[in-house]
Amino acid sequence: DQEADIRAQDVVTDAAPKMTYAQVADAIAKAADADKLAEAGDLIGSVADAEQRTELAALFERREAELQA
């Protein structure tokens, strides 16, 4: 039934790892090489707020440029 489907979707959504902006920003800042930065970049999608994900993507790009310099 529809109610069971909704409950099942909630379980799947809740199973996704949740990260805070600060946790991901810290991982980006601490990335010492391209591999660590890529791992940190993968975490951006686990932040719930879309505006914060946009800001994190900008931080990622800045850190990427720093590592390439």
User: 6-57, pLDDT tens digit by residue?
Assistant: 454 554 455 556 899 999 999 999 999 999 999 999 999 999 999 999 999 9
pLDDT of res. 16: 56
- Run of H or E residues at 38: helix 34-43
Query: Can you give the pTM of this predicted structure?
Result: 0.75
Q: Give the per-residue pLDDT at 40.
A: 96
Q: Which residues contact 49 (CB under 8 A, 6 or more apart)?
A: 21
SS3 breakdown of the chain: % helix, strand, coil, rounded to 5?
80, 0, 20
Q: Which amino acid belongs to residue 38?
A: A
Residue 18 has a pLDDT of 86
> How many angstroms separate the CA atoms of 69 and 59, rounded?
15
